[in-house]
Amino acid sequence: MTSSEQRFIRELEVFRTEAQSGAQFLYGYLTLNSILSENKKALKAVNKTPLFWNTTMGALQTAFFIVLGRIFDQRSTHNIDRLLKLAQENIGIFSKEVLADRKRQDSSNADEWLDDYLKTSYEPTSKEFRDLRRKVKDYRNLYEANYRDIRHKIYAHKEVSEAEEVQKLFSKTNIRELQKIFVFINALYEALWQLLYNGRKPDLRPMRYSVKRMVRDRKPDWQSQSAQEIMVGEIDDFLKILAGNV
């Protein structure tokens, strides 16, 4: 394995932990709010320990804003632009030849099926990564316009404390927009992982982002689920157990 490949794999893994943890923090916060607004028994149980739950909600909110900064701030050591730039500058790691080497490492009988597999595998172009970076720029612009000051001036540093100033910053936020940002981040990770390990053309596949829909239409445990779907499902299960013990 080349040093370039190793560097990209390390950066991709860091990006995975950021993308998934950010989605877990955001959807943990949103799911608790959503279910407790409708499940009166669960709310009654939660209200028996208000300090704990207010602390939990505050921690989740702080966490997803901090993660947003680490992902989009270009001064951050590990950020989304660094990852894509590394991929673009070392595009050879996505060649069929290098993919074949990775498959041989993972399968003892790879040579029996590898030739046919490589016929349909995809080799990206620099333009493709430029297009992905343009999409990232659109989302980074949203972050910088609506969320960066909250992250920097409230959560990372206490530069703003007056209620009116805090409210002014939060007035720019939009829950659906935040959901779509984290869904995009996780879809990008999945696309890059599939390209690297399976030779699939990058495809930012749609992911569910509505909490209510995830609760209503739960996927079975055996079916592949995103980080946010797992978080929503586990909180739904936990609050049902909590409500049953009231």
pLDDT value of position 2: 81
* Dihedral angle computed from the Cα positions of residues 84, 86, 88 and 91, in that order, rounded to the nearest 10 degrees: -130
- Condensed to tens digits (0 to 9), the pLDDT of residues 198-207 reads 999 998 888 8
Residue 122 pLDDT exceeds 90: yes
Task: Over range 149-167, report the average pLDDT.
Answer: 91
Indicate yes or no: pTM above 0.95: no
Confidence check: pLDDT of 237 > 80: yes
pLDDT band at 246 (very low <50, low <70, confident <90, very high): low
Please compute, for residue 154, the number of CA atoms within 13 A of its CA located in the half-sphere on the CB side. Answer: 22
Q: What is the pLDDT of residues 39-78, one digit of tens each?
A: 999 999 999 999 999 999 999 999 999 999 999 998 888 8
Q: What is the pLDDT of residue 244?
A: 86
Tokens 């799911």 map to which residue?
31
Write down the pLDDT at residue 74. 87
Structure confidence at residue 152 as a pLDDT band (50, 70, 90): very high
3-state SS of 98-134 is: HHHHHHHHHCCCHHHCHHHHHHCCCCCCHHHHHHHHH
The domain ranges of the chain are: 3-244
Tokens coding 115? 């030739």
Give residue 245's pLDDT band: very low, low, confident or very high (50, 70, 90): low
pLDDT in tens, 92-116: 999 999 999 999 988 889 888 999 9
Report the percentage of the chain scoring pLDDT > 70: 99
Read off φ and ψ for residue 194, nearest 5 degrees.
-65, -35
Cα dist from 178 to 25, 146, 147, 185, whole Å = 12, 10, 9, 11
Average pLDDT over residues 128-157: 94
Kindly indicate the confidence band of residue 25, based on its pLDDT and cuts at 50, 70 and 90.
very high
